[in-house]
Amino acid sequence: MIGLDHVRAAAKRLRGVARRTPIITSATIDDMTGATVLLKAESFQRTGSFKFRGAYNRISSLPSDTKGVAAFSSGNHAQAVALAARLCGLPAVVVMPTDAPESKVAATSGYGAEVITYDRYTQDREALGRELAGDRGFVLVPPYDDQLVMAGQGTAGLELFDQAGELDVVVAPVSGGGVIAGCATAGTALRRGMRVIGVEPEAGDDTRRSLRAGRRVAIEVPRTIADGLQVSIPGELTFEVNRRLLEDVVTVSDQDLVQTIALLFERLKIVVEPSGAAGLAAVLGGSIDVAGRRVGVILSGGNVSAERFAKLIQGRQVIP
């Protein structure tokens, strides 16, 4: 288990390295929800998502004789590891699927990482990542199931609590469960009774099912436009935290996500990717009791190409 001290130590390491992303408020959203909603825009974080916080906290804590780092990811974690490794002066190798979006591959290489592609239908990326790391003597950086990664991701919450003042409820998307575990650790330590609620896509409710079952439940790789939330089982370490600290996990439909990214685009003039809008979609959808409350919501990332956004808006389902 991690504690508030782990998150605070991460925040110290990230000072001057990660961006202190803005809190955005909107009278429109407050009117729609009857709550005071404070959006933590991690879409403006370096590499476009909160993942940078976890990756940098992990990589900057490695011993000085570390030869390099390895990761497997089709998305935001890949870019985060690539930049964090560069900042720490370490080589990085990232295993990405052959059909990963060109823009994400380009961004990852752009940060100086070596990209190795694999066929997601015939090859096991985890095995490939471990093998690569082993061959080169590199350290594998997990996307969520690691204390330093969780604590680093939780600094998004720590900052939110510092910027937004007292909050009654915190809402965040759940993939492997890292960012919400970190936020819940900080939030419940700072304020007894703070409600922490996770959001998953309808098709990918592995953490919700796991919480109800009291143990980690695996599902099929979910078919959803929320490409950052296509995980089929909660992390071991993250689930240990989340089963103790989360009030609930609710779900949103792909259509809710599209409506929410359109609202953020038109009213707030900001770009948020489908996964990143899950928290706000749930708040707007009414499945969380927020009336009269001060609600912090993590907008976890903004990595969506203009072309994909266009297709999503036009209702042409784009499932990666």
Active site residue 104: no
Active site residue 182: no
Active site residue 204: yes
Cα–Cα distance between 204 and 198 in angstroms, integer?
12
By CB under 8 A, tell whether 262 contacts a copy of itself.
yes
By CB under 8 A, tell whether 309 contacts a copy of itself.
yes
By CB under 8 A, tell whether 44 contacts a copy of itself.
yes
Among 75, 182, 204, 301, which one carries the catalytic annotation? 204
Which class for 257: exposed (0-12), middle (13-18), buried (19 or more C-beta within 10 A)?
Answer: buried
By CB under 8 A, tell whether 307 contacts a copy of itself.
yes
Residue 232 or 305: the one with the smaller Cβ distance to a copy of itself is 305
By CB under 8 A, tell whether 260 contacts a copy of itself.
no
Alpha helix ranges (H) inside 140-235: 147-164, 178-190, 206-213
DSSP 94-153: EEEETTS-HHHHHHHHHTT-EEEEE-TTTS-HHHHHHHHHHHHTPEE--SSSSHHHHHHH
Active site residue 300: yes
Segment near a copy of itself (CB under 8 A); pick from 115-123, 163-171, 200-208, 301-309 = 301-309
CA distance to 20, 115, 126, 174, 209, per residue, from 97 (Å): 31, 10, 12, 22, 28
Structure tokens at 284: 């707007």
- Per CB under 8 A, which of residues 95..114 are in contact with a copy of itself? 103
State CA 66 to chain mean position distance.
26
Q: Give the number of other Cβ atoms within 10 Å of residue 223's Cβ.
A: 13
**Identified binder of a copy of itself from the candidate list 140, 265, 285, 318, rule CB under 8 A:** 265
**Identified binder of a copy of itself from the candidate list 2, 83, 88, 271, rule CB under 8 A:** 271
Among 40, 48, 51, 210, which one carries the catalytic annotation? 51
In angstroms, the first-to-last Cα distance of the chain is: 33
Residue 44 or 138: the one with the smaller Cβ distance to a copy of itself is 44
Give the residue from 248, 259, 265, 310 showing the smallest Cα distance to 285: 259
- Per CB under 8 A, which of residues 126..165 are in contact with a copy of itself? none
Cα–Cα distance between 282 and 234 in angstroms, integer?
20
Structure tokens at 221: 């790789």
Do 50 and 299 touch, CB atoms closer than 8 A? Answer: no
**Identified binder of a copy of itself from the candidate list 65, 192, 213, 269, rule CB under 8 A:** 269
Residue 194 or 312: the one with the smaller Cβ distance to a copy of itself is 312
Amino acid at 157: G
> Where on the phi/psi map is residue 50: left (φ > 0), alpha (ψ -120 to 50), or beta?
alpha
Residue 62 or 262: the one with the smaller Cβ distance to a copy of itself is 262
- Report, in Å, the least distance between residue 135 CB and a copy of itself: 33
- Report, in Å, the least distance between residue 280 CB and a copy of itself: 15
x/- contact string, 48-87, with a copy of itself (CB under 8 A)? Answer: x---------------------------------------
- Report, in Å, the least distance between residue 22 CB and a copy of itself: 8
Q: Which residues bind a copy of itself (CB under 8 A)?
A: 22, 43-44, 48, 103, 261-262, 265-266, 269-272, 302, 305-307, 309-311, 313-314
Give the residue numbers marked as catalytic.
Answer: 51, 74, 200, 204, 206, 300
